[in-house]
Chains A and B, each alone.
Chain A
Amino acid sequence: MSATAAAAEAGERRGAPRPVEELDSVTIRFVGDSGDGMQLTGNEFSRAIAKAGHDFATHPDYPSEIRAPTGTLFGVSGYQIQFASRQVFTSGDAPDVLVAMNPAALKTNLGDVKHGGIVIANSGAFSDNNLAKAGYKSNPLDDGSLGDYRLYKIDISELTAHALKDSGLSKKETGRCKNYYALGLMLSLYSRPIEKEEEDIRRKFAKKPEIAEANVRALRAGYAYADATEMFITSYKVRTADIAPGTYRSLTGNHAAALGCVAASELAGVPLFLGSYPITPATDILHEMSLLKHHNVTTFQAEDEIAGICSAIGAAYGGVLGMTTTSGPGMALKTEALGLAVMLELPLVIVNVQRGGPSTGLPTKIEQSDLLQAVYGRNGECPIPVIAANSPADCFDCAIEAFRIAVKYMTPVIFLSDGGIGNAAEPWRVPDPASLPKLEVKFRTEPEGFQAYARDANLARAWVRPGTPGMEHRVGGLEKDFLTGNISHDPVNHQRMVEVRAAKVAGIAKDIPPLKVEGPQQGELLVVGWGSTYGSITQAREKAAAQGRSVAHAHLRHINPLPPDLGDILQRYKTVLVPEMNLGQLARLLRERYLREVVTLSKVQGKPFKVSEIYDRILELC
Chain B
Amino acid sequence: MSNLSTASLLTKKDFESNQDVRWCPGCGDYAVLAQIQKLMPQLGIPRENFAFISGIGCSSRFPYYMETYGMHGIHGRAPAIASGLKLARPELSVWVVTGDGDALAIGGNHFIHAMRRNVDLKIILLNNRIYGLTKGQYSPTSELGMKTKTTPLGNIDRPFSPTAVALGAGATFVARTVDSDQAHMAGVLKRAAEHKGAAFVEIFQNCIVFNDGAYDAITDKSVRDDARLLLEHGKPLVFGKNKDKGIRLRGLEPVVVEIGEHAASEADLVMHDESAEHSGLAFFLSQFDAPKFPVPLGVFRAVGQPTYEEMNTQLHADAEARKGRGTLAALFNSGDTWTIK
Q: Using a CB–CB distance below 8 Å, which chain A residues touch chain B?
A: 47, 50-51, 53, 200, 243-250, 259, 262-263, 266, 271, 273, 275, 292-296, 298, 300, 302-304, 306-307, 310-320, 322, 336-337, 339-340, 344, 430-433, 436, 447, 465-478, 486-487
Q: Is the CB of B315 within 8 A of A293?
A: yes
Q: Using a CB–CB distance below 8 Å, which chain B residues touch chain A?
A: 1-2, 4-5, 17, 19, 46-49, 51, 53, 63-64, 66-74, 77, 80-89, 91-92, 109-110, 113, 312, 315-316, 319-320, 322-329, 331-333, 335-341
A-B pair count, CB < 8 Å, reads 209
Q: Is the CB of A294 within 8 A of B320?
A: yes
4 more A-B residue pairs beyond the given contacts A248-B340, A266-B328, A477-B74, with a C-beta to C-beta distance below 8 A = A200-B336, A247-B333, A303-B80, A314-B84
Whose C-beta in chain B lies nearest to the C-beta of A429? B340
In the complex, A467→B327 CA distance in Å?
28
Q: Is the CB of A311 within 8 A of B92?
A: no
Q: Is the CB of A304 within 8 A of B5?
A: no
**What are 7 A-B residue pairs whose CB atoms fall within 8 Å in the complex?**
A248-B338, A295-B325, A295-B331, A296-B316, A300-B83, A466-B48, A467-B49
Q: Is the CB of A246 within 8 A of B340?
A: yes
Q: Is the CB of A303 within 8 A of B88?
A: no
Residues of A within 8 A of B71 (CB): 314, 317, 344, 474-476
A298-B88 contact in complex given A293-B319, A313-B81, C-beta closer than 8 Å:
yes
Smallest CB–CB gap between B330 and chain A, Å?
A: 10
Whose C-beta in chain B lies nearest to the C-beta of A308? B80
In the complex, A316→B84 CA distance in Å?
8
A315-B331 contact in complex given A247-B338, A293-B315, C-beta closer than 8 Å:
no
Whose C-beta in chain A lies nearest to the C-beta of B69? A466
A315-B77 contact in complex given A245-B341, A469-B1, A470-B48, C-beta closer than 8 Å:
no
Closest 9 interchain pairs by CB? A476-B72, A314-B84, A311-B84, A310-B80, A318-B88, A307-B80, A314-B85, A470-B1, A466-B69
Q: Is the CB of B89 within 8 A of A466?
A: yes
Q: Is the CB of B319 within 8 A of A294?
A: yes
Q: Is the CB of A314 within 8 A of B336?
A: no
Residues of A within 8 A of B67 (CB): 472
Q: Is the CB of B48 within 8 A of A317?
A: no
Kindly name the residue among A51, A311, A337, A486 whose own CB sees the greatest number of chain B CB atoms within 10 A.
Answer: A311
In the complex, A194→B337 CA distance in Å?
17
Smallest CB–CB gap between A199 and chain B, Å?
A: 10
Residues of A within 8 A of B81 (CB): 310-311, 313-314, 317
In-complex Cβ contact of B332 among A317, A340, A430, A447 (8 A): A430
In the complex, A447→B1 CA distance in Å?
8
Kindly name the residue among B88, B322, B323, B336 whose own CB sees the greatest number of chain A CB atoms within 10 A.
Answer: B88
In the complex, A273→B80 CA distance in Å?
13
Smallest CB–CB gap between B323 and chain A, Å?
A: 5
A294-B323 contact in complex given A306-B77, A430-B332, C-beta closer than 8 Å:
yes
Q: Is the CB of A322 within 8 A of B84?
A: yes
Q: Is the CB of A312 within 8 A of B84?
A: yes
